[in-house]
Structure 1
């Protein structure tokens, strides 16, 4: 890994912030690196407030969306809430439908089948709406590029409101309203909302017409926080406030479906990391292995006993998903080795029998292994479907755009996207994608980067620093947990490999007799030789707590070790 030590802020700025906040050099430096340079900015960072949220009517077309929904409510129209089958989509549908049902009874939900309909708005979904007399569809986490489908709906007399956060194409769909902060003509101050976040802004705008404020809508924030964590959007600006209050709801008064998931995993208090690795995979597993409707049903259920039954099913879907993605990952790794694909600038693999529901996870695992922009293809009807994942610093969406002559349909973000193409175009696409990436990528991006906030000594690690760092949470893109580097440490002599297949490493680092700290390095068992024989080495780590037999002690979570 490339260790990249962040530039240290100017000494005068550190000194000024230290005095303003009554903190030490380390804390002042960490805050300045996050763009927090005044007392007021620090207050906003450490004490998120609902006042940090922007007026929803600053978003382009919000007034049109609210007006059309209010008309539908007043006229007793049938409203269909439509969303994608992933976490962001299903939480969005749960949020919007739950809110609308407090205003009108004639609300239904629709999640497309991943295998039959594919991603986003489908003709089948529009036909369902037409056959069942829905005159308004509110689409969440999808729709920004569904130009032909929106036109088809219009011909059938169905209006669309789109709430999306993906990058738009050159033209927007002809919908009643298109809410997307990434619209080129949208001046909304915060561009990084997830789909559920855009949906929350819409219900905030609708509620304001009823004399309600954001505080009256906190019950929906467990869904928003889950979507923020799962969709890997920056936890800065509005997302930080939404995640902060959403975690409070998750840990104090979650909806029955969320409570049932948490009960299945037996965790007392969840962080955003727990949401990403514990809650989100279970919600996602429904759409991957069975149907996204199961997730919406769980998240909208008001009876806990019923929700608990649904959660058992969801947990089984997740178990099946783990087994499937492990098997496919192993098959993909063999395929890559056989054809020397690891020598390329990209990783592109295909097997017509791979499960479409897990190819995104497999793409992520392959990216972790070979650290290349990665595409995993499988057969989907008469086409090939793929999930794309990228390496830090490289825009895979732009790369796909450069290959668009070979693609039927694509969409997504800088680091994750999806596409379909005709089987006869696969080889041409694969060659073009390799060529585009080879030409555009900075070769250093093909080696994983480990960003280090600050170099410190082990004697500077204490409980007070840990307590302050805890207040930096919730962590995520744009506000990662602080990472430190310490050079010239030694193992006290008892370091060893632990875990299945000696995959992990555990040792006690020391720089003097007074500053011994227990260290755990997950997945770093192969570094054991570096720490042997009391040779000095360097470590990069985050500060953590170890809970064991009722005792709590500081420990370092090691990210990498070098001689």
Structure 2
């Protein structure tokens, strides 16, 4: 289940300039651009769009103190952080201070031994050599440590971009979230860049624009406003004249022959820089980014390449372990996923948390436990402010800090039960059930015949794209003429898409398992167009981001059109299932009104199963009449496999159920009419099917006649490919209708051991001299229970 949202529906309409392609005008409007003047600034970012750095709170005081340190020959300690943002911010100030002849050294805490931010031990060490402490990408939540520094005679300047707490450090604080700065979404390195701008002018700051750009992309701040300028100009520098360390990273990533984009930074370069602090000493990445000697830098780049590969392995191992934990984790009972593992790498759990957020669309806290202390990384969904949630349990933690969508923390392990319970309580009071529905955003309905090389190249004018300025996404309805799984382990789909007179190649990453299901179907697609360059030839292709869920009426129509086929497969599983479901007496009943309330109250927790075409028609009418068609996804011929237990309707479902629901409603049939059922409380639905297979099981006389006919038929065996072929031919040979009643009769005769029938290999034989009574057979009795249930009126 998801909400499909068109971007910028509340955007301001403005006329398209004559020199602007209409497609660009439409896409800019969707991104909130409200005038031709704003559009020109968006499409042509330049230095003039950077704000006066002295508008930042505390900047004038910081500049004055640093200049005084230079004049007095004082030593400065730059206290950084171990991620890309912190390392790049440290590099900017270290390189600049060295260029101006200021005595300086850096301190980057060990991620595993010291954790994030300032600590008393490190501050005492810095105070032995420095007169001024300057933090980058940290410090806003370290009022106590700043007081420690001051008590040791160490002046301090905090430069940070994280959210401030209730108490600010007692020193100059430079933070775009304070004081009304025109753009409040700078990253830590962006703030460091502005500090250099204020100290020495824009030309001096532009020497470090590439480092600020790397950090801006990596730290997932929005690529709008001033950040868009920083990243645009910084990537221009990277592609024109990369500094040595960045050049070596590009080579190790195999990107030397390509233009470096924001995507290249996010998925190729940033993970290599981050690997330094995640698995070891972040100072290695700092040495690489500030190096001027290839002999010194190359071995570091090689080392980070190896560590990034090791990081991927550790991350996957944690994700796999989390997957096993989630099998017993009831999302219906929690508003947040909190998992704790001994031996997990605290430098990698944030990446694993991000992947769990993508999979479950829940806020996630992963905790690495060692020696009774839990160090955690948090990632969240748009509707949940994880920093605010942590603030509500601040008394349980020894430290925490972060943003709306990401945070870090540490706490004693014994506080974990209270931590989980209070977070659930807080989020239950501060979120709505619909907040947990994922959102899919798109720009325009865009048919495939408009996907041309020229159109794709026009869209490049929106670069850099990423967080806050996503790649253009479009909707189209297309026929999937062919689909096959390709890549390592069949990981992704390669498709031929067709719409009207347009045919285009399509790819869908991570969905190779869908090849058989979607081939030959017509689907609504959410896609992003791109160019595929191969051996000098350029062609357009569509990267399919999502196969949109069919509207309920469409799914029900497909079910009714092919009902005999779905019913046969459904009955085969039901009839040859050796484990019979619980009797009717163990399931309660639910009224239409009560079912309506369940669906209205939450998009999560209710699963409805129907076993007949009559029941399906009645169920669709019920949902549409009550405005509930958008409150559940529909599945035909299979159970919904969803551990988040979003509301679902399953028609003639087969297979192994996955997930646990709060309510499982058997709309038109008792438990005995289904194969294996999902986990959760069962309720009998309000509908009674008429003229369905439920009403017409074979009686004793019919079974006798079937047996005589089948024995005659089996005497002259013919090779048949499927159970359906066998049952059809056997029915016709005896003058029977080949429908559900005969299928049920064959299964009963098989269970009575009067015939030998292999449903998998479609083999039939009749052993001689056997006798049995249907009344002694469990399947026959089960079919009578089903018929009695169906005969009762609502």
Instruction: Tell me: CA distance 1:449–1:306, structure 2 relative to 1, closer, same or farther (3 Å).
Output: same
Separation in 2 of the partners of 1:153 and 1:8? 48
Unaligned runs of 5+ in 2: 551-794
Distance in 2, Cα, partners of 1:367 & 1:105 = 45
Judged with a 3 Å threshold, the aligned counterparts in structure 2 of structure 1 residues 343 and 461 are, in CA distance, closer, same or farther, namely farther
Q: Which of 392, 399, 411 pairs up with 2:389?
A: 399
**Contact 2:7/2:441 (CA < 8 Å) preserved in 1?**
no
Worse-matched range after superposition: 220-229 or 460-469: 460-469
1:527 aligns with 2:514: yes
Rate the CA distance shift 1:8–1:165 in 2: closer, same or farther, 3 A: closer
Cross-structure match for 2:304:
314
Partner of 1:117: 114
Is it true that 1:338 corresponds to 2:324 in the alignment? no
1:262 partnered with 2:250: yes
Q: Call closer, same or farther: CA 1:188–1:19 in 2, change over 3 Å.
A: closer
Report the counterpart of residue 410 of structure 1 in structure 2.
400
Find the counterpart in structure 2 of residue 148 from structure 1: 144
Corresponding residue to 1:543 among 512, 523, 529:
529
Please tell me whether the aligned partners of residues 505 and 541 of structure 2 are also in contact (alpha carbons under 8 angstroms).
yes
Who is 1:128 aligned against? Answer: 125
Q: Does 1:95 align with 2:82?
A: no
Show the counterpart of 1:61.
58
What is the rounded CA distance, in whole Å, between the counterparts of 1:216 and 1:471 in structure 2? Answer: 28
Aligned runs of 1:411-560 on 2, under 5 Å? 411-487=401-477, 489-492=478-481, 494-513=482-501, 515-533=502-520, 535-560=521-546
Q: 1:219–1:249: 8 Å Cα contact kept in structure 2?
A: no
Match of 1:137 among 133, 152, 155: 133
Q: State whether residues 343 and 370 of structure 2, in contact with CA within 8 Å, keep that contact through their aligned partners in structure 1.
A: no
1:461-501 Cα offsets, whole Å, 9 max, x none, are 212221111010001222111110012x1123x32122233
Q: Which residue of 1 aligns with 2:656?
A: none
- Partners of 2:296 and 2:93 in 1: CA distance: 21
Distance in 2 (alpha carbons) for counterparts of 1:329 and 1:418: 18
Alpha carbons of 1:22 and 1:263: their partners in 2 closer, same or farther (altered >3 Å)?
Answer: closer
Residue number among 26, 51, 70 corresponding to 1:73 in the alignment: 70
Q: Which residue of 1 aligns with 2:166?
A: 170
Cα gap change, 1:9/1:23 in structure 2, threshold over 3 Å: closer, same or farther?
Answer: farther
What SS does the aligned partner of 1:144 have?
Answer: coil
Instruction: Give the Cα separation in 2 of the matches to 1:17 and 1:45.
Output: 16
Residues 453 and 531 in structure 2, CA contact (< 8 A), matched pair in contact too: no
Shift of 1:343: 5.8
Measure the CA separation in 2 of the matches of 1:8 and 1:154: 49
On the 8 A contact 1:163/1:198 being kept in 2, the answer is yes
Q: Post-superposition shift, 1:290?
A: 0.6
Does the CA contact (< 8 Å) of 2:7 and 2:442 recur in 1? no
Shift of 1:37: 2.9
Cα distance change, pair 338–8 in 1 and its aligned pair in 2 (3 A): closer
Match of 2:200 among 180, 199, 207: 207
What residue number does 2:174 align with? 179
- Please tell me whether residue 228 in structure 1 is matched to residue 216 in structure 2: yes
Range that drifts further, 421-430 or 373-382: 373-382
The one-character-per-residue Cα deviations of 1:219-268 (angstroms, maximum 9, x if unpaired) are: 21111111011100011100000000000111111111111111111203
User: 1:18: which partner in 2?
Assistant: 16
Matching residue of 1:5? 5
SS in 2 for 1:348: strand
Compute the displacement of 1:393 (Å): 2.5
- Determine the C-alpha separation between the residues in 1 that align with 2:184 and 2:209: 19
What CA distance in whole angstroms lies between the structure 1 residues aligned with 2:94 and 2:204? 17
Provide Cα deviations, 1:263-289, integer angstroms capped at 9, x if missing partner. Answer: 111203211011011111111111110
Q: What is the match of residue 27 of structure 1?
A: 24
Q: Which moved more, 1:165-174 or 1:494-503?
A: 494-503
Q: Superposed, which structure 2 residues align to 1:236-385 within 5 Å? A: 236-267=224-255, 268-340=258-330, 344-380=334-370, 382-385=372-375
- CA pair 92-522 structure 1, distance change in 2 beyond 3 A: same
Distance 1:21 1:342 in 2: 54
Find the aligned partners of 2:20 and 2:109 in 1 and give their Cα distance.
54
Deviation for aligned residue 1:549: 2.3
The 10-residue stretch of structure 1 (400-409 or 278-287) with the greater mean CA deviation from structure 2: 400-409
2:185 to 192, 199, 202: 192
3-state DSSP of counterpart to 2:131 = strand
Larger of the two Rg values belongs to structure: 2
Give, in angstroms, the shift of residue 57 of structure 1. Answer: 0.4
Residue deviations 1:522-561, cap 9 Å, x none? 012233345323x321100111111222222111111011
- The 1:413–1:9 alpha-carbon spacing in structure 2 relative to 1, beyond 3 Å, is closer
Change (3 A) 1:63 1:10: closer
State the alpha-carbon separation in 1 of the partners of residues 370 and 208 from structure 2.
35
Q: Which runs of 5+ in 1 are unaligned?
A: 209-213
Q: Is the 8 A contact 1:9 1:32 kept in 2?
A: no
Q: Hey, what does 1:211 align to over in structure 2? A: none
The offset of 1:7, in angstroms, is 6.1
Q: CA deviation at 1:325?
A: 1.0
TM-superposition CA deviations, 1:36-73 (whole Å, max 9, x none): 23222111111101000000001111110000000101
* Whole-angstrom distance in 2 between the partners of 1:311 and 1:58: 38
Alpha-carbon offset, residue 314 of structure 1: 1.1
Query: What secondary structure sits across from 1:170 in the alignment?
Result: coil
Query: Is 1:159 the counterpart of 2:152 in the alignment?
Result: no
Aligned residue pairs total 547
